[in-house]
Structure 1
Amino acid sequence: MRVAGERGVRVVDEAVMRSTRTSEDELARVEEIERVELDRRSRRYRGDRPRTELRGRTAVVVDDGVASGSTARAACLIARRLTDATHWVRTRDEARDLPVGFFGASNGAAAALWAAAEPDSPVGAVVSRGGRPDRAGLRLPAVTAPTLLIVGGNDDVVIGLNQQAQARLGCENRLAVIPGATHLFEEPGTLEEVASLAAQWFTGHLPPASHPAA
């Protein structure tokens, strides 16, 4: 949606702004928060050293996939589609009375939380697996559905990002850390533990499905 850099650098993806219906005021609030974080990281990484002059040098820029990039745009588009798909399902006679839960992994978790924050969202519970809930940004305080955040114990960066997101949630929530698991939960038994935790969360927070009398 937007990338902020030092010396006032600001790049905005207008297409993502339109697709997510993000207002200029919302964008400004996010930018203000991220400018503070940018300054903090600059002081931490550079210390008191002056900026390196880049004229006459070759700079190699690496996108680690954590901070920004096309995956963020994909998450925004998924959120819109998820919202539309959920409303469509609720119009179907066979699904109208069924409880709704969202399960998202990686950027899909941000999409699930973004969609769950819609005022008319019917979602009753959300589970994030190795997700990036922080990318739901200003939407997080608006989520009312009980939310479970599952992360791998060896996924240090994502643990921190989930802790930041959890602090912004006002709904019932829990952060579950699976010891020994990395980001994709490829270690033996870790995905089974994810499935068990998710099943317990959904069955504990979603009401039983109602069935019409025969």
Structure 2
Amino acid sequence: MYYTDREEAGRRLAAEVERWRDADPVVVALPRGGVPVAAPVARALGAPLDICVIRKLGVPAQPELGMGAIGEGGTRVVNEAVVHGARVTAGQFAEVERRERAELERRATRYRRGRAPVAVRGRTVIVVDDGVATGSTALAACRIVRARGAARVVLAVPVAPADWARRLGPDADALVCPHTPARFRAIGEFYRDFTQTSDAEVERLLHEAATARPADGTEITLDAGGADLRGTLAVPPDAVGLVLFAHGSGSGRHSPRNRHVAGELRRAGLGTLLLDLLTPEEEPDRAKVFDPVLLGGRLAAVTRLVTARPDCTGLPVGYFGASTGAAAALWAAAEPGLPVAAVVSRGGRPDLAGDRLPEVTAATLLIVGGADTAVLELNRRAADALRCEHELAVVPGATHLFEEPGALAAVSGLAAQWFDRCLATAVTDWTT
């Protein structure tokens, strides 16, 4: 036996997936047994926990033998070798699927308690179960989250047969399993306590995860000069300020790095608006991507609109700009009559704001990776042009995307401290 119970297996599995902490991960569990394993993984990573409801399709005469699996959204995986080997007829298969789909829908309704699934588009999704035997349910789960737009799929389980990578590798970008014994009969033989997980326990763990972590936010659309711009707004209770995110070239409100930073800011008591400054039709136009006047003008317009909302009225405002979005943030911060209190740039191109830099009055923090030498020099020159309070912070060894272990956490910590200090004393007079 390798594990005392599922919770211990989850704690040990969490150490194996630590490398994806800075990738803004979502942990998706296969109920029921996968949820108590996934819960400590999600807690350790500071990630949201969701479920992917899967039902195994067992051979009628031997239910423990999987001939396939079904999942939410009509996904189906069939093990043709088992179907033919067990001589399962089309009618028998259809009857098993009908019965299991009814159970799938019942469980999904009960477990979610009206909550919408966590958004996975553009994010790293870590699929967790208590183990892999035939692999049909894990395979279905990987395909489901991929179909929902996951940028990277990691399948992580405490135990699996030695040949599991050959069978499941093509459907996941990474496989994680601490124990792959050569002799494998059933998942339960590797747990001292493999008591069946109840529906009540699944509900409890999902509810605890949902209430312990700030929500990603509500999708909104704002009309900025005739362009319908999409955003994700989240304002925690008793928020001390609101930070608007201006994303860089080739990125948007689903950026894993900015979502990670936004989550840390919300935990620090700040509201966040992750915003697309270009419409989907405009995004391929590289000229617009590098146009700080267009992007900065839209950011300023959105600022006026969002601060007029009842849930944002009176909140001091800060900007977080990444890459070319930093130029847009500084351009907007220099707009007359727009009292933005603080700006943070992550790996930004503040130099693109040009002649507007001396007009910025918001306290500005420029964060650059130490290994991003070209951008570091551009930030030094931009800092020389600023006349407001400003600092240049260098994260040692980090490259442009801050993908190195701990680099993005350093960015989040620096940003949270800067906004906390600058917004706490900001003037919130929006009578311009």
Match of 1:164 in 2: 381
- Residue pair 2:362, 2:388 contacting (<8 A) in 1 also: yes
Q: Is residue 2:312 matched to residue 1:80?
A: no
Q: Is residue 2:337 matched to residue 1:103?
A: no
Q: Is residue 2:421 matched to residue 1:204?
A: yes
Distance 1:121 1:180 in 2: 36
- Residue pair 1:97, 1:209 contacting (<8 A) in 2 also: no
Identity of aligned residues (%): 60
State how 1:16-165 maps to structure 2 within 5 Å: 70=287, 71-73=289-291, 75-165=292-382
Distance 2:370 2:377 in 1: 11
Match of 1:173 in 2: 390
Between structure 1 and structure 2, the one with the greater Rg is 2
Q: 1:160 to 1:86 in 2, by over 3 A?
A: same
Match of 1:186 in 2: 403
Alpha-carbon RMSD: 1.7
Distance 2:345 2:409 in 1: 15
Shift of 1:77: 2.3
Distance 2:412 2:310 in 1: 29
CA deviations over 1:110-168 (Å, ceiling 9, x no partner): 00000000011121100000000000000000000000000000011001000000000
Gaps of 5+ in 1: 1-68
- Residue pair 2:341, 2:426 contacting (<8 A) in 1 also: no
Shift of 1:207: 1.9
- Residue pair 1:103, 1:112 contacting (<8 A) in 2 also: yes
The SS at the match of 1:161 is helix
Q: 1:88 to 1:148 in 2, by over 3 A?
A: same
Shift of 1:90: 2.1
The number of residue pairs the alignment matches comes to: 141
- Residue pair 2:295, 2:328 contacting (<8 A) in 1 also: yes
- Residue pair 1:109, 1:132 contacting (<8 A) in 2 also: yes
CA deviations over 1:88-121 (Å, ceiling 9, x no partner): 1122232120110100100000000000000111
The SS at the match of 1:177 is strand
- Residue pair 1:125, 1:145 contacting (<8 A) in 2 also: yes
Greater RCO, 1 or 2 (C-alpha within 8 Å, sep 6+): 1
Match of 2:142 in 1: none
Distance 1:196 1:166 in 2: 21
CA deviations over 1:41-67 (Å, ceiling 9, x no partner): xxxxxxxxxxxxxxxxxxxxxxxxxxx
- Residue pair 1:98, 1:209 contacting (<8 A) in 2 also: no
Distance 1:160 1:94 in 2: 40
Gaps of 5+ in 2: 1-285, 428-432
Distance 1:94 1:181 in 2: 37
- Residue pair 2:372, 2:399 contacting (<8 A) in 1 also: yes
Distance 1:91 1:187 in 2: 39
Q: 1:168 to 1:199 in 2, by over 3 A?
A: same
Distance 2:426 2:368 in 1: 29
Q: Which amino acid aligns with 2:374?
A: V
The SS at the match of 1:206 is helix
Structure number with the higher helix fraction is 1
CA deviations over 1:10-32 (Å, ceiling 9, x no partner): xxxxxxxxxxxxxxxxxxxxxxx
The SS at the match of 2:424 is coil
CA deviations over 1:154-203 (Å, ceiling 9, x no partner): 01100100000000000000000000000010101000000000000000
Distance 2:426 2:354 in 1: 32
TM-score normalised according to structure 1 size: 0.63
